[in-house]
Amino acid sequence: MQNIVCKNSDMSTLLNDEIENMRENDVINRIWNRDYTLWSDSPAEISNRLDWLNIVDEMMTKTDEIIKFSEKVCHNYNFLVLLGMGGSSLAPEVFSKIFGSKEGYPQLFVIDTTHPEQIMDVQNAIELDKTLFITSTKSGGTVETISLMKYFYTLLTNTYSKEKAGEQFIAITDPGSGLEDMAKELGFSKIFLNNPDIGGRFSALSMFGLVPAALLGINIDLLLERTKAAMELSKLGGDDTLHNVSAELGVLMGVMAKNNLNKMTVLTHDDYIPIGAWIEQLVAESTGKIGKGVLPVVDDTIENMEHFSDDRYYVLIEKSDEISGNADLLCKRGKTTFQLNFTDLYDLGAHFFYWEFATAVAGWSLKLQPFDQPDVESAKVQARAMVKTFIDTGNLPEVNPDYEDDEVKILGEGVNGNNISTITDDFITSATNKKDSPYISVQAYVNMNENNQVTLKNYADMLLKKYQFPVTVGFGPRFLHSTGQLHKGDDNSGIFIQLIEENMDDINIPDEAGKNDSGISFGTLITAQSLGDRQALINNDRSVLRIIFKSKMNL
């Protein structure tokens, strides 16, 4: 089956020309030969970021170690808690949500937040002495991950002992990182060192993804075997290029974005919906820079199609090799549509690889470097400045609201109205007039519990139906390691709505693991992160509305 099921008539020639351009420039072979000039004149953050290409072969030599460890510890623990952000947390989350836990293996919780109530929800859901904690960070210094590690390590130390705390912690990190040193000092029971020449969002098939997968009882040997077949398919060039699923997908992403059709709507079969968040990070963080970008829209459903704007194209992830009913419906409406298929759950590894390779091809097509994240640091710099102000003065910087009532405080340029609804409507309408192809980004620094997820999904659907352009929802601060790069690096088509809760139950972050002294709380940190990202967006001339709920979010 041709993966591009149908093409908008205006795009057909452009897509065919780009595929021919890819053949003539020998792009496939050059990717496999690690030719950095496909993306940049400089090898910086490219030559040392390409080992995802051969990670399957490398990991096949290491599965025995991983499986032996997982079999050794699975009977000792009922729960796993993974502490990580972005590339370190999203693939394990996908494995857990798609496969679940094999009988006899522990249940996984992922904490990729600094929201204190969400942290407490996980703490209350586990048995502390029956939990293995996985601290997962490539750099070894990610502020959220290390803060979480210090909190839970100290909790175990206070409840039991330092020795037991160390026994219940493992680390996944790069060689020589700060976490490797901390893990040794704190007596972690195991340290998995990953290949350092892989960027975080391309690490799903490395230690960062496969160690948690094995701890869930997933057959990682079978997973890698399936992925190996996808690797071989991704080597096809020349006359066989049209059989190269990933190359075709990458060309589609590049050509559509270059022609102002940059809203890639991913519609996923119910069994595979969790892969959407991982795709969102990979594509947004890799392509959203230097005034360009592919916006992944991963939470829409076909039922909302009548409200979809014309700047979209569609990637369907289906369970059958047959052309799906959704594809047929979209094709009849003249929409460019691509279909990827699963045969069973173990095709997940192949899909990880397809998307990684496609993203590399899209970077070539868009003439950008897909392996760096130049604008992610800007929000971190601003957040660190906020934290420093708090440490120096005992208070975060104050920003005077432009509107306030008994329930909310609202900040935004040109705020006009006397309630949330009228102010939001005026803000969106005003911002829309300045943009050619807008989208709304709802950034919710709230507990990512089921109730809030439903509330925000309903809110996004309401905005979509009212304004008729794409709406994405991100929970902070996790989206800062995902779509945050695109928000500040794309063509400035985003309209940003921050949702904050002012009065939350709070918990302190220990200054050092195993000690109780604390200079800052998780509540302060997440507030600093939201303020920092707001300032980074404003510095990049983005339109931002900040809504602060004095108690719980009420939309």
pLDDT digits (tens, 9 = 90+) for 235-292: 988 777 778 999 999 999 999 999 999 999 999 999 999 999 999 999 999 999 999 9
What are the distances in angstroms from CA 64 to CA 169, 211, 216, 349, 452?
A: 21, 11, 15, 18, 41
- Among 18, 45, 481, CA closest to 249: 18
Q: What is the dihedral of CA 211, 214, 218, 221, to 10 degrees?
A: 80
The letter for the amino acid at 507 is I
Q: What pLDDT was estimated at residue 376?
A: 87
Distance CA 34, CA 27 (A): 10
Q: What is the pLDDT of residues 87-102, one digit of tens each?
A: 999 999 999 999 999 9
For 547, phi and psi rounded to 5 degrees? -110, 115
Higher pLDDT, 152 or 4: 152
Q: Given CA atoms 369, 372, 375, 378 in this order, what sign does their dihedral have?
A: negative
H helices present in 245-404, as ranges = 245-258, 275-287, 325-332, 348-366, 376-393
Three-class secondary structure of residue 239 per DSSP: helix
Distance CA 464, CA 458 (A): 10
Banded pLDDT at 196 (limits 50, 70, 90): very high
Q: Residue 322: CB partners within 8 Å, gap ≥ 6? A: none
pLDDT exceeds 70 at position 517 = yes
Looking at residues 59-68, what average pLDDT do you find? 98
Provide the token pair at 307: 């409200």
pLDDT exceeds 90 at position 37 = yes
Q: What is the pLDDT of residues 104-157, one digit of tens each?
A: 999 999 999 999 999 999 999 999 999 999 999 999 999 999 999 999 999 999
The mean of the pLDDT values for the chain is: 95
Distance CA 443, CA 26 (A): 41
Residue 414 in contact with residue 430, Cβ under 8 Å? Answer: yes
Q: What is the pLDDT of residues 360-384, one digit of tens each?
A: 999 999 999 999 999 988 888 898 9
Q: What pLDDT was estimated at residue 28?
A: 97
Q: Specify whether the backbone of 337 is left (phi greater than 0), alpha (psi in -120 to 50) or beta.
A: beta
List of domains in the chain: 4-33+225-366 (3.40.50.10490), 53-218 (3.40.50.10490), 376-549 (3.40.50.10490)
pLDDT cut 90: percent of the chain above it: 89
pLDDT cut 70: percent of the chain above it: 100
Residue 188 in contact with residue 173, Cβ under 8 Å? Answer: no
Radius of gyration of the chain (CA): 23
Task: Produce one character per residue of 243-275: b if its CB has 16 or more CB atoms within 10 Å, e if not.
Answer: ebbbbbbbbbbbbbbeeebbbbbbbbbeebbbb
Distance CA 323, CA 340 (A): 10
Q: What pLDDT was estimated at residue 2?
A: 60
- Among 13, 6, 46, CA closest to 30: 46
Distance CA 546, CA 501 (A): 11
List the beta bridge partners of residue 267: 316
Residue 289 in contact with residue 485, Cβ under 8 Å? Answer: yes
Higher pLDDT, 398 or 475: 475
Place of tokens 């026994």: 167
Paired sense of beta strands 494-501 and 543-549, if any: parallel
List the beta bridge partners of residue 445: 500
pLDDT exceeds 80 at position 1 = no
**How many C-alpha atoms does 412 have within 13 Å on its Cβ side?**
29
Q: What is the pLDDT of residues 469-501, one digit of tens each?
A: 999 999 999 999 999 999 999 999 999 999 999
pTM for the full predicted model: 0.97
Q: Residue 25: CB partners within 8 Å, gap ≥ 6? A: none
User: What DSSP string describes 49-69?
Assistant: SBGGGGHHHHHHTTHHHHHHH
Paired sense of beta strands 543-549 and 508-509, if any: unpaired
Residue 548 in contact with residue 502, Cβ under 8 Å? Answer: yes
Place of tokens 């005034």: 291
